[in-house]
């Protein structure tokens, strides 16, 4: 487990709470809020507190294991850093799609050339209306 090593290397400690949070994120394999993570973790280990989840997420973020993003309005969601991509978020149904890599690359290039602006791909989010919602009239 790479994550566990990363924690060790930084002088961090591998605790049950941290294991639980990590596996909750891995199992979710998507975009999950702190509370969603908490409810999974808390379901199995009721002694683990919400604030511990937040602190663990913070720690994992510092280690570069997870990343949090604010998709659209509302709370932050976390996802694994190995799954870096750009998010398309439906403003109607909340669906989260991933933008095609080449499209992202292209945009990234152009913004860099023209404005010297360096996209953080993992922090990129576009709101709009997804195919489904668009077709059920709006």
Partner DNA sequence: ATCTTTGCAAACTTTTTGCACCAAT
Partner DNA sequence: ATTGGTGCAAAAAGTTTGCAAAGAT
Q: List residues near DNA by CB under 7 A.
A: 7-8, 11-18, 33-35, 45, 47-52, 54-56, 58-59, 74-76
Instruction: Report the partner that residue 18 touches, choosing among a second copy, DNA, none (CB closer than 5 to 8 A by kind).
Output: DNA
> Does residue 73 sit in helix, strand or coil?
coil
- Residue among 43 and 100 whose Cβ is closer to DNA: 43
Binding site for a second copy (CB under 8 A): 68, 70, 72-74, 76, 88, 90-91, 97, 99-100, 103, 107, 110-111, 114-120, 123-131, 134
- Residue among 14 and 28 whose Cβ is closer to DNA: 14
CA distance 13 to 46: 21
DSSP 54-82: HHHHHHHHHTTSEEEE--SSS--EEEEGG
Q: What sign does the dihedral 109-111-112-118 (CA atoms) show?
A: negative
């Amino acid at each position: 487990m790479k994550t566990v090593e990363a924690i060790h290397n930084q002088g961090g400690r591998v605790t049950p709470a941290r294991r639980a949070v990590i596996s909750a994120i891995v199992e979710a394999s998507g975009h999950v809020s702190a509370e969603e993570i908490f409810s999974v973790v808390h379901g199995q280990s009721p002694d683990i507190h919400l604030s511990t989840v937040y602190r663990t997420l913070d720690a994992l973020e510092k280690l570069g294991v997870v990343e949090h993003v604010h998709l659209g309005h509302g709370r932050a969601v976390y996802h694994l850093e190995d799954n870096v991509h750009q998010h398309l978020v439906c403003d109607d149904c909340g669906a989260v799609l991933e933008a095609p890599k080449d499209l992202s690359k292209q945009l990234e290039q152009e913004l860099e050339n023209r404005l010297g602006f360096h996209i953080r791909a993992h922090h990129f989010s576009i709101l709009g209306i997804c195919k489904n919602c668009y077709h059920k009239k709006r």
